Amino acid sequence: MGSDDETCDVCQIHGLDSKFLNGKKSKIRKNQLHKVLVGKVATVKLCHIHDIELFNLGEKRFVMEHLDLLRSLIGKAD
């Protein structure tokens, strides 16, 4: 898939190829989640598709759809 800087966190957790999934729009964006961890800001790297999904669902519903991402964010916060 590539280095960590080029990989979507959600795609990486689910074993998806983010470059194949996104086609020409393979740019990775860093997003900050403010409502997920109490008192902390979580930073996630998302591909185009998951970035749109985050926008459509909102932070709380997005992480509930991707519980493995939530687990990894909690693990990083410790």
Inter-residue contact 46 to 12 (CB < 8 Å) = no
Q: DSSP label at 15?
A: T
* Burial of 11: CB neighbours in 10 Å, binned 0-12, 13-18, 19+: buried
pLDDT in tens, 13-60: 999 998 898 999 989 999 999 988 888 999 999 999 999 999 999 999
Inter-residue contact 42 to 22 (CB < 8 Å) = no
- For the entire predicted model, the pTM comes to 0.85
The token pair that represents 37 in the structure block:
């961890």
- At residue 3, does pLDDT exceed 50? no
